[in-house]
Amino acid sequence: MDMRNRLNAALKTAMKDKDSERLSTLRLINAAIKDREIAARGEGKEESVSDADVLGILGKMVKQRQESAKAFEEGARLELAEKERSEITVIEEFLPRQLSESEVAQAISDAISETSAESIRDMGKVMGALKTKYTGQMDFGAVGAQIKAKLG
């Protein structure tokens, strides 16, 4: 089952169960996907959003909510931070399992050898290889620093 069908099935289940918090988060996910489709149509692309695009959207949504939760905690707004965390839980249900640190390190090493990367100038090739294989499974912001360390 593709991502869109999984999301729509979860949305219907949340409606039937009258789970308003879950329903709200699932609607936010659908809205983000529709926004991406509209933007793609504006650029003249006719194909719909792929599963890889959906994973990217979900990863971005999780990261945004983590940052918001941290900001709310710093501002002593614990109820809002908790709401962000509950949204993260719902979104993460649709993401693949996150790789462990050792798996990320191995994936980086493999990507470096696959792309024959030798210097920091080849970092884009390595990131491209990792994004095609591991979208939604690792934090590419943190991975960038690790790649620099290995190539630098």
**pLDDT at residue 1 in the model:** 54
Q: Helical H runs in 43-100?
A: 51-74, 78-92
Positions of the chain with pLDDT under 70 = 1
Q: Which amino acid is at 69?
A: A
The single residue listed with the structure tokens 């990131």 is: 127
CATH architecture of 3-92: Orthogonal Bundle (1.10)
- The CATH classification of domain 101-151, taken from the options 3.40.50.970, 1.10.10.410, 3.90.1260.10, 2.60.40.1890: 1.10.10.410
State the pLDDT at residue 79: 94
- Dihedral (C-alpha) 26, 27, 28, 31: value to the nearest 10 degrees? 130
CB 58 within 8 A of CB 91: yes
Task: Give the position of tokens 């918001």.
Answer: 68
Q: CATH 1.10.10.410 in the chain, residues? A: 101-151
Phi, psi of 50 (to 5 degrees): -80, 170
| Alpha carbons 44 and 57: distance in angstroms, whole number | 20
pTM: 0.74
pLDDT at 137: 81
The residues of the chain that CATH labels 1.10.1510.10 are 3-92
